[in-house]
A and B are shown apart, each in its own frame.
Chain A
Amino acid sequence: MSTLAQKKGFGAVLWDYLTTVDHKKIAILYLIAGGFFFLLGGLEAMFIRIQLAVPNNDFVSAGLYNEILTMHGTTMIFLAAMPLIFAFMNAVMPLQIGARDVAFPFLNSLGFWLFFFGGVFLNLSWFLGGAPDAGWTSYASLSIASEGHGIDFYALGLQISGAGTLIGGINFLVTIINMRAPGMTYMRMPMFTWATFVTSALILFAFPALTVGLFLLIFDRMFGSNFFDPAMGGNTIIWEHFFWIFGHPEVYILVLPAFGIFSEIFAIFSRKRLFGYSSMVFATVLIGFLGFMVWAHHMFTTGMGPIANAIFAVATMAIAVPTGIKIFNWLFTMWGGSITFTTPMLWAIAFIPSFVAGGVTGVMLASAAQDYQYHDSYFVVAHFHYVIVGGVVFALFAGAHLYWPKMFGTMLNEFLGKITFVLFFIGFHLTFFIQHFLGLWGMPRRIFTYLPGQGFETSNMVSTVGAFFMAAAVIILLINIVITSVKNEKVGNDPWGDGRTLEWAIPSPPPFYNFKQLPLIRGLDAYWLEKMEGKKGMSPAEPLGDIHMPNNSFIPFVISFGLFVAAFGAMYRAEHSWGIPVLIVGMLITLGSMFVRSVKDDHGYHIHKEDLEDTNDKGVKA
C-alpha cells in the first residue's frame, strides 16, 4: 500500500475499518459481517432440521421453533445473502469499470453501518424477550397478534438495515452511470457490472415498498394505528401486497448478481468471451423489469379471484424465457471452449442443473391452478431453496474463491475448496430434493413437528442428514480461510491466468487508489484484448497526475448508532418512561452527526504525482 504501508497496531487497524470509506475495505466489512450472519442463519437451519428429523420431536418448543424459522429466513435474506452480494459488488464493480472508488464513498460507509446496526438490533431480540415469530413474511394478522417485542425488533431492525441497502443501491447506480473509465461504454461493461446496475435499480424501486409496509407495521404495533386491523377498517391483505411488491424483486436482487458472478466465471475458465453478450444484457434487464409484474403469484391462494390469478400466472411464466436464454448462453459459452475445473468453475457448473431444477419448479408454481396444491407446502420450501441456495449461495461460494485473491492478495486452497464443493453439493440435493415430495404428500411448511403415520418420517430424516453435509462443507471452508490467511502467499495481478476484465489488470489487492492512471477501454473484456495483443497491462487514458481521495470519517458509524439507540426508545416507549427520552437522544445523535457532516467542509486530500512516481517500480513488481 505505497507509502502508507506500515505495520499498524490492532487499535489502528480497527479505527481504520470503523472510519474507512474505501470500497475495498467496506467490501471486507460486508464479507465479515455477512459471513457471520450466514453462520448464524446456518445454525438456525441446523436447529430446524434437527427438530424435524423425527416425528413428535421436542428438541425445541413450538414457540421457539417459530422464532428460529423466522430468524433463519430473515437473517439469510437480509443479513447474509444481500450483504455478501454487496461485498462482491463493492470489491469488484468499481475495479471492473475502471473507477477509483464509488461515487459517494461516505454513503457507502453509511450504508454498511446502517445494515450492520440493523442486523445487530434484530438479533438482540434473542436476548431481550424473544425473537420475531411470524415468519420472514410477517403477515399482518399474525404479526399484529404476536405478543412480546419480537415483531418490533423485526420491523425496526429491517427498517434500519433496509435504509442502508437503499443507500448502497443508489450509490452503485450513480457510480456505474458516472464513473466508467474512458472507452467503457455500457455495452462494454462486464456482465457482473451489468448485474450490479440492474440490481441497484431493482433496489431503488423495490425497497421503498418494504419501507412503507414496515412503517405501517411499526405504527400499528408501537403507536396505536390500525392499518392492518379489519375490525377498525384496516386490511391485512395490503401488507401482503406491500411485502411481495418488495419481496419478489428481492429474489432478483439476490439472483441477478449471482448470474453476474457466474457469467464472469464461465468466460474466464472456458477462455472464451461470453456467448451472446448483448442478449445476456437484454435478458438481465428484462428479468429485472418483469420482476415487478409478478408479485401476486405469492398470493394465488389469498383469494384474489381467477382474473388476477390468471394474469399473474402468465406474467410469471414469461420470466422463464429470459432465464432460459441465460442458461443456454452459459452452456454455449463453454461450448468450444477450453474448460478448466477450478473451484469457482465447479460451483458454476453445478449451478446449471441445480438452478434449472429450481427454475422449472418455478414454472410449475406459476401455474395458478396447481399452485393451490404447492402453496405453503414443502414443495415451495424445496423450490426456493433450489433457487436461492442453488443460485445465490453457490454464486457466493464461487465468488468467494474467485475474488479472494483480488480482495486479500492470496488464494484459497483449491483442494479444500473442492472438498467443500463436493460435500455441499451432495448435502444440498440430499436436503432439498426430497422436500418436493414431502410437499406433494401433504406436508405444510413452517410446522414445528409432524405426527407419525403420515408418511413423512424417512424423507425428513434424509433431509436432515443432508443438512449435516452442508454444515461440514461450511466448516471446511472456514478451516480453508484460516489456513490461507496464516500462510498468506501473495499472488500477482491475474492469479487465475485467464482474467478478462479490468480488475485482473491491477495488483492483488489493488492499491487504495485502484488505478494510478485511468485505463483506456478498447472493447468488451478489456484486459483480455490487451493480453491477446501481447501487452502486459492496460494503456493509460490520461497522463500521470494528482489523485483526489476522500478522507476517512467516523460520522457514518455515529449516524447509524443513533438510529440503533432511537429504535430501543421507540420500542419500549409504551411500557417504560425512559422510552421517549431515549428515542429523542437517539434521533439527536443521528441528526446532530448529519448536521456536523453538512456544515463541516471535507474536501478530501490529494495523492501527489511525485508519490505515485515513487511507487512505480513497486507496482510492476507486485
Chain B
Amino acid sequence: MKRLAKWRLFSLFAMMALILSACSGKPYLSTLKPAGEVAQTQFDLMVLSTVIMVGVIAVVTVIFFIVVFKFRRKDDRIPKQVEGSHKLEIIWTVIPILLLLILAVPTVSATFKLADVGPMEKKNEEGKTDALVVNVRANLYWWEFEYPNQEIITGQELVVPTDEKVYFNLIASDVKHSFWIPAVGGKLDTNTDNVNKFWLKFDSEKAAEADNYFYGKCAELCGPSHALMDFKVKAVPRDEFDQWATAMAEVKEPKKAETDLAQAGQEVFNNSCIGCHAVTPANTAPEAARLAPNLTNFGDRDRIAGILDHTEEDLKDWLRDPETFKPGNKMTGTYGELSEEELDALTEYLMGLKVMEQ
C-alpha cells in the first residue's frame, strides 16, 4: 500500500514535470521558466498547489465516474432516501482543511519573504544604500528607470546586474499601472498614491538562456495602449553593469553628433524633441518635467517605444506617426510634421546616442 502510494506520487510528479516542460512558454517571458529567486519561489508554490489540486481533482473524478456509470436509471424503482452520513461529512471537511494547511504555511512564509525590503531602507553615510535600488515610474505608455545611487536615469530598458537582489520603488505618474517581469517574478502595482517596494533577483544562467533580455509588461488596464506598454530588461553581470552605469554617468553634456547628417538631426532634435526627451542621464530635473523617456542611451537599446524592432526604418515609421503604433500615446501631435530629410537626420542622430562602445 505504501509502495503504491509512493509510486502514484512519483508518477504524478513525473506527469506534472512532463506537462510543464512540454508547454512552458518562452524563456524570456514565461512564469514557468523561472529566472530568479522570486519567480522560483512562486514556481515552487505553483507546483505544490498544483499537485495538491490534481489530487483533489483525481478523487472527485473517480467518485464522479463511479456515480455516473454505476447509478444510471435501469428500472423504475425508488432508491433509498439517505439523509446523510456524519462520518463521511467529517472526512470531507477535515481532509481539505489539512490540505489547505499544507499550502497555507509556505504561502504565508513566502509572502513575508517576498516583501522583505529591509536592505533598501539602510542608508550609509553618503545617504546611499549598499543594495542596488531602482525607482520605477510608470507613465502612459512608457517606463522610467532611475538609479538613485548612481544618479542616472534611463527609460524603456531596465539594466540590472545578475545574481544579486535588486530593490524597486514603484510609482505611477498618471494612472495606475502594474510592473511585471513574468520570467523573473510576480508583479506589483504602480499606484498613483504611494510608493510600493519589492525586490527581484535575476539569475545569470537563466538570463543567458534568454539572451540576456527579459520582457516586461504593464499588467493593469491603463488606457488604449495598455497592451503595448512593454519594456525590456537587460540582465548583465555585475562588472558589466558597473561599466554601463559609469559610462552613463559620464555623459554630462548632450553627446555631440559626429557626422554632418547627425548634426542636422541634433538640430531637429533640439527644436522639436528636447522639450520632453532628455539626452543627459542626470536626475536633476523634477519628475513632472520628465515628460518622455530619457534617450541618453537610445542607440544601445533593443526596441523602439518598447515594441518596434530597433532599426532605422522602424524608427522613421514611429516618428512619422506614433499614433498608428501606440494609440492614445502622449507624443502624437506634440511636434510638427517632419520632412523625409529631417527624418533621415534625426534617425542618424538618435541611433548614434550610445554610451557603450561595441
Chain A positions within 8 Å of B, measured between CB atoms, are 61-63, 65-66, 134-135, 139, 141-142, 145, 230, 235-237, 270-273, 275-279, 301-303, 305-306, 309-310, 313-314, 317-318, 320-321, 324-325, 327-329, 331-332, 334-341, 349, 352-353, 356-357, 360-361, 363-364, 367-373, 375-377, 437, 440-442, 444-451, 454-455, 532
Known: A145-B175, A356-B60. A363 touches B224 (CB 8 A): no
Which residues of B sit under 8 angstroms from A236, Cβ to Cβ? Answer: 176, 191-193
- Name the residue on B nearest A349 (C-beta): B68
Q: Complex formed: what's the CA distance from A339 to B73 in Å?
A: 5
Q: Mark B67-89, 1 if CB is under 8 A from A, else 0.
A: 11001111101111111110011
Instruction: Flag if B196 contacts A303 (CB, 8 Å).
Output: yes
User: CA A318 – CA B100 in complex, angstroms?
Assistant: 8
Q: Does B227 sit within 8 A of A, measured CB to CB?
A: yes
Q: Is the CB of B191 within 8 A of A237?
A: yes
B85 near A360: Cβ-Cβ < 8 Å: no
Q: How far is the CB of A392 from chain B (nearest CB, A)?
A: 20
Query: In the complex the two chains form, what is the Cα distance from A483 to B321 in whole Å?
Result: 54
List residues of B whose CB falls within 8 A of some A CB: 23-26, 29-32, 39, 41-42, 45-46, 49-50, 53, 56-57, 60-61, 63-64, 66-68, 71-75, 77-85, 88-89, 92-93, 96-97, 100, 103-104, 107-108, 110-115, 170, 172, 174-176, 178, 180, 182-183, 185-189, 191-194, 196-197, 215, 217-228, 230, 307, 327-328
Decide if A270 touches B79 in the complex (CB within 8 Å): yes
Most chain B CB atoms below 10 A, which of A61, A63, A444: A444
With A277-B84, A446-B221 as known contacts, state yes or no: A373 contacts B46, CB within 8 Å. yes
B42 in complex: contacting residue of A230, A321, A373, CB < 8 Å: A373
Q: Other CB < 8 Å A-B pairs besides A63-B328, A277-B83, 7 of them?
A: A310-B112, A331-B64, A335-B67, A367-B107, A440-B31, A445-B221, A448-B227
Cβ of B74 to closest chain A Cβ, rounded Å: 8
Residue in B56, B75, B219 whose CB lies within 8 Å of A356: B56
Question: Shortest Cβ distance from B9 into chain A, in angstroms?
Answer: 18
Assembly CA distance A349 to B65 (angstroms)? 10
Q: Which of B26, B68, B81 contacts A272 (CB under 8 A)?
A: B81
Chain A nearest CB from B35 CB (Å) reads 12
Contacts of A340 in B (CB 8 A): 72-73
Neighbouring B residues of A145 by C-beta, 8 Å: 174-175, 223
Whether the pair A363, B53 counts as a contact (CB closer than 8 A) is yes
The distance in angstroms between the C-alpha atoms of A550 and B145, with both chains bound, is 68
Q: Which single residue of chain B is at the shortest CB-CB distance from A137?
A: B221
Q: Are B219 and A310 in contact (CB under 8 A)?
A: no
Residues of the A chain whose Cβ atoms lie less than 8 Å from the Cβ of B176: 139, 141-142, 236
| Selected A-B contacts with CB under 8 Å, 25 pairs | A61-B224, A236-B192, A236-B193, A276-B83, A306-B112, A321-B96, A329-B89, A331-B60, A334-B67, A339-B71, A356-B57, A360-B53, A364-B49, A367-B49, A370-B46, A370-B110, A372-B114, A375-B186, A440-B32, A442-B31, A442-B183, A444-B226, A444-B227, A448-B226, A448-B227
Query: In whole angstroms, what is the CA distance A337 to B251 when docked?
Result: 80
Task: Name which residue of chain B comes closest to A531, CB basis.
Answer: B78
- Closest chain B residue to A234, Cβ basis: B193
Docked-complex contact B224 and A446, CB < 8 angstroms:
no
| Contact call B92/A337, Cβ cutoff below 8 A | no
- Please name all residues of chain A whose beta carbon is closer than 8 Å to the beta carbon of B178 when the two chains form the complex: 301, 375-376
Q: Known contacts A336-B71, A340-B73; is A447 also within 8 Å of B186 by CB?
A: no
B187 touches A372 (CB 8 A): yes
Closest to A70 in B: B221
Which of chain A's residues have a CB closer than 8 A to the CB of B92? 324-325, 328
Q: Across the interface, name the chain A residue whose C-beta is closest to B67.
A: A334
- From A134, A235, A327, A369, contact of B107 by CB (8 A): A369
Contact A230:B61 (CB < 8 A) given known A303-B188, A441-B26: no
Residues of A within 8 A of B26 (CB): 441-442, 454-455
- B71 with A142: CB separation less than 8 A: no
Distance (whole angstroms) from the CB of A278 to the closest CB of chain B: 7
Assembled-state Cα–Cα distance A328/B39 (Å) = 35
The CA of A373 and the CA of B172, in the complex, are separated in Å by 20
Closest to A134 in B: B221
- A residues less than 8 Å from B77 (CB atoms): 338
Whether B79 and A338, one on each chain, are in contact in the complex, defined by CB atoms closer than 8 angstroms, is: yes
Assess the A306–B30 pair: CB atoms within 8 A.
Answer: no
The answer on a CB contact under 8 Å between A142 and B193 is no
A363 touching B49, Cβ below 8 Å: yes
Q: Which residues of A contact B93 (CB under 8 A)?
A: 321, 324-325
Contact B84 A272 (CB under 8 A): no
Give every chain A residue within 8 A of B89 (Cβ-Cβ): 276, 279, 325, 328-329
Taking a contact as CB atoms under 8 Å apart, the answer to whether A302 and B189 are in contact is yes
CA–CA, A455 and B210, complex, Å:
14
- Whether A376 pairs with B45 at a CB distance below 8 angstroms is no
Give Cα A442 to B39, complex, Å. 12
CA distance A66 to B85 in the complex (A): 51
Q: Given the complex, which residues of A lie within 8 Å of B25, measured CB to CB?
A: 437, 440-442, 455
The residue that B45 contacts in the complex, of A329, A367, A445, with Cβ under 8 A, is A367
Whole-angstrom distance between the Cβ of A544 and the nearest chain B Cβ: 32
- Chain A, Cβ-Cβ closest to B114: A369
A344 CB, min distance to chain B CBs, angstroms:
15
Would you call A370 and B45 a contact (CB within 8 A)?
A: yes
Contact check, B191 vs A441: say whether CB atoms are below 8 A apart.
no
Instruction: Please measure, in the bound complex, the distance between the C-alpha atom of A230 and the C-alpha atom of B96, giving whole angstroms.
Output: 43
**Cβ A336 vs Cβ B223 within 8 A:** no
Q: How far is the CB of A141 from chain B (nearest CB, A)?
A: 4
Question: Cβ of A276: which chain B residues have Cβ within 8 Å of it?
Answer: 83-85, 89
- A130 CB → nearest B CB, Å: 12
- B186 contacts A301, CB within 8 Å? yes
Measured between beta carbons, the chain B residues less than 8 angstroms from A368 are 107, 111
The answer to whether A441 and B107 have CB atoms under 8 Å apart is: no
A480: shortest Cβ distance to chain B, in Å?
24
- The 8 Å CB contact of A270, one of B53, B71, B111, B225, is B71
Q: Taking CB as reference atom, which chain B residue is nearest A63?
A: B224
A399 to B125, CA, bound (A): 70
Kindly provide the distance from the CB of A273 to the nearest chain B CB, expressed in whole angstroms: 5
Q: A313-B107, A328-B88, A376-B187 are known contacts. Are A369 and B42 too (CB-CB below 8 A)? A: yes
CB distance from A14 to the nearest CB of B (A): 41
Query: Which residue of chain B has the shortest Cβ distance to A279 in the bound complex?
Result: B89
User: In the complex, which of the residues A62, A271, A335, A437 contacts B327, with contact meaning CB atoms closer than 8 Å?
Assistant: A62
In the bound assembly, the distance between CA atoms of A340 and B176 in angstroms comes to 52
B71 and A442 contacting across the interface, CB-CB below 8 Å: no
Contact A338 B73 (CB under 8 A): yes
Please pick, from A135, A272, A324, the residue contacting B79 in the complex, using a CB distance under 8 A: A272
Which chain B positions have C-beta within 8 A of A441? Answer: 24-26, 29-32, 182
Find chain A residues with CB under 8 A from B189 CB. 301-303
Return B348 CB to nearest CB of chain A, in Å.
Answer: 27
Q: Which residues of A contact B183 (CB under 8 A)?
A: 442
Specify which chain B residues have a CB less than 8 angstroms from the CB of A440 in the assembled complex. 25, 30-32
Q: Residues of A contacting B31 with CB < 8 Å?
A: 373, 440-442
A267 nearest CB neighbor, chain B only: B81
| A444: contacting residue among B53, B110, B180, B223, CB under 8 A | B180
Q: How far is the CA of A236 from the CA of B177 in the complex (A)?
A: 12
Instruction: Specify which chain B residues have a CB less than 8 angstroms from the CB of A324 in the assembled complex.
Output: 56, 92-93, 96
